[in-house]
A and B are shown apart, each in its own frame.
Chain A
Amino acid sequence: MNRKTSMLVTTSACYLYLIVCCAILLLPFMVTLVRSVSVAQPGGSVVFSLSSYNEIVGSFWPKINLSLSISLLTVAIDTSIGIPAAYALVRHDFRGKKALFSFLNGVWYVPGVCYAMALVLAYYFVYKFFLGFWGYVAAYSCGFLFLMLLTCMVAFRHFDPRYEEAARCLGAGRLRSFIRVTLPLIGPGVTAGILLTFVLSFNEFITALLLAGPTRLMTAPLRVYSDIRMYGVRETVAAEATVLQLISLIVVVLYLKFVGTRYLRGVILI
């Protein structure tokens, strides 16, 4: 085999490997998508149709709306708490700082269901008044705050304080130097936290499952789950699942296009 042929074989093998990887990652999405547009006719034949999407518009959109509202509020609350908290944790030394960092990292090793149960216990049995929509927001904000905190802390650790010092020496007060210099420079790191908080809270299932009982509110992922249990894998359920995946996919693709993976590296999940 000459050098040219060998190069060709290697390149083909690399492409094949990438295609297999992509297929494995995209397969569940593709299968769901195909199922959602394959409508069975009375005669037994299967035809391509978007009718299932039409069918779910009325019933599924309010759930999507609810999930989006909860996620966006969660992101807003976690961002406003996470940025100043991360700044304080990174910049200021205090007794027990290392222990606190270990604790924050340790959150990821707690099984999701245990964590969700703890949140439910806290927000249902302890604060009964915190039920309904705001119960979700409170539970999600609390649950995903660590994620926002960690990404912001990574961003602040990469941020050289000399820029802030330079801004101060040039006449900017604390707040102005933070808004004009620090925030634009840590922006990509913060958006990594926003992205992860949004996607994970939008798709959060375990906490929602436990909260849905007392609150009787059903988020979009929960609706998909209950429809699967009730109707099986019908085309309308597949359509619901496809819409849910598409929203997350679009957000992630937009983030990767505009920011890239740089600020996701420091996060333990990735």
Chain B
Amino acid sequence: MTHVKAQNITKRYETVAAVNRVNLEAEDGKFVTLLGPSGCGKSTTLKIIAGLIYPDEGEIYFGDRNVTELPPDKRNIGFVFQRIALFPHMNVEKNIAFGLKMRCRTKEEIARKIKEVLYVVHMEGFEKRMPSQLSGGQAQRIEIARVLATDPDILLFDEPLSNIDAKLRDELKYEIRRIQRETGKTMIYVTHDQAEAFAISDKIYVMNNGSVEQIGTPVELYVNPITPFVASFIGSNNFLKGRILTLDASTNVARVTSDDIEIVAPYTNGLHMNDQVLVCIRPEDISVIEEGEKSKYRNVIQGRIDDSVFAGLLTRLNVAVKGIVFKIDVHGSDRFSYLNVKGKEILLGFNKCSLIAGATEIPA
């Protein structure tokens, strides 16, 4: 187990900074994920940690050891690639033995280790298969076994499931989590898939344009996004541009005006009167309510259903409120009541919403 620390790492390609002053910390035995859209610099960050890319600035520490200048073969890492990187000219056994041979292990030790890691990834009996004879999921398991065999200090995953079909991806992500728990290794995982990141991570770094936007647990990121990008990238959100009207420090409640709509929202950060804010309301936090239920909600607004789309687990309503369209998700058996309701006037109620200070633009 190793504590990984990246300090102020920067990598530029010509004039564009692919990674810009990124600080990252993965504690012993933790599962840390870099989440972001493609081209945000997450894979470059991971490759810098692995030593496959040399940073223009910044330093990498494994424990107390500064590894910035070390080549990848001297870092004792395991790297699982986005596209299967099993050596096509070696069978499964030889692929797994490769890293062990590089470490000058004895034949007996190599044979024992191969058995052990194949057991961990549930792939016993596949020793003699060539990589071309494996399915995508099997190959990815063998690749994980290959890196586990060398007993690396940290495991790095670069979107390992992005080329695998949805059902298997779902299965493998829990498998990776299980392996992490069983081996107790520090893992850094890169993905653009929010659901994947949420399912397996202890801590998530949300990246955009080469920088870290927010660090937190899945719940923290979902409930309290601190930048418009995080609010729009993680889950679905309704955005309203607004201005603080009043702040009640005793109850931590702010009154915000957004055009003709007034919203009461809880706040925790240092907001001031007349500050520009972005109000974020999750579609699932808004309920369609009856007249008599108004008192249960801090915010009640009236709107007209523009459209409804049935999506199996939920029905998504687009409701026009004073010229602004709100997305609302209706769950449970109620979702069947809103299938052909275009034009219907309804009351919306919500208590939860979050405020992002200083944001003046609604994210695309």
Contact = CB atoms under 8 A, between A and B. Distances in A.
B75 to A, nearest CB: 8
B150 interface: yes
Given A162-B83, A176-B102, A180-B98, A169 B77 contact: yes
A181 B99 CA distance: 12
B31 interface: no
Contact of B98 (A165, A167, A174, A185): A167
Max chain A C-beta neighbours (<10 A), residue from B78, B87, B150: B87
A184 B89 contact: yes
A168 B52 contact: yes
B103 interface: yes
B72 A165 contact: yes
A211 B89 CA distance: 44
B73 A181 contact: no
A198 B85 CA distance: 34
Q: Which of A171, A172, A173, A185 has most B Cβ within 10 Å?
A: A171
Contacts of A167: 87, 98
A166 interface: yes
Contacts of B87: 163, 166-167, 181, 185
Given A168-B52, A185-B88, A173 B71 contact: yes
Interface string B59-72: 00000000000011
B81 A166 contact: yes
A173 B50 CA distance: 14
B88 A170 contact: no
B79 interface: yes
B192 interface: no
Contacts of A171: 73, 76, 99, 102-103, 150
A163 to B, nearest CB: 6
Given A163-B85, A185-B88, A170 B98 contact: yes
A181 B101 CA distance: 13
Nearest to B85: A166
Interface string A176-192: 11001100110000000
Interface in B258-279: none
A227 to B, nearest CB: 47
B81 A165 contact: yes
Interface string B74-114: 00111101010101110000000011001100000000000
A129 to B, nearest CB: 43
Given A162-B81, A165-B52, A172 B73 contact: yes
B146 interface: yes
B89 A168 contact: no
Interface in A17-58: none
A169 B98 contact: no
The 6 closest A-B pairs by CB, nearest first: A170-B99, A171-B102, A166-B85, A169-B79, A168-B72, A162-B85
Given A163-B87, A173-B71, A181-B87, 11 more contacts: A160-B83, A162-B83, A165-B72, A166-B79, A167-B87, A168-B51, A169-B78, A169-B147, A171-B103, A172-B98, A184-B89
30 contacts: A162-B83, A163-B85, A163-B88, A165-B52, A165-B79, A165-B81, A165-B85, A166-B81, A166-B87, A167-B87, A167-B98, A168-B51, A168-B52, A169-B50, A169-B52, A169-B73, A170-B146, A170-B147, A171-B73, A171-B103, A171-B150, A172-B102, A174-B71, A176-B102, A177-B73, A181-B87, A184-B89, A185-B87, A185-B88, A185-B89
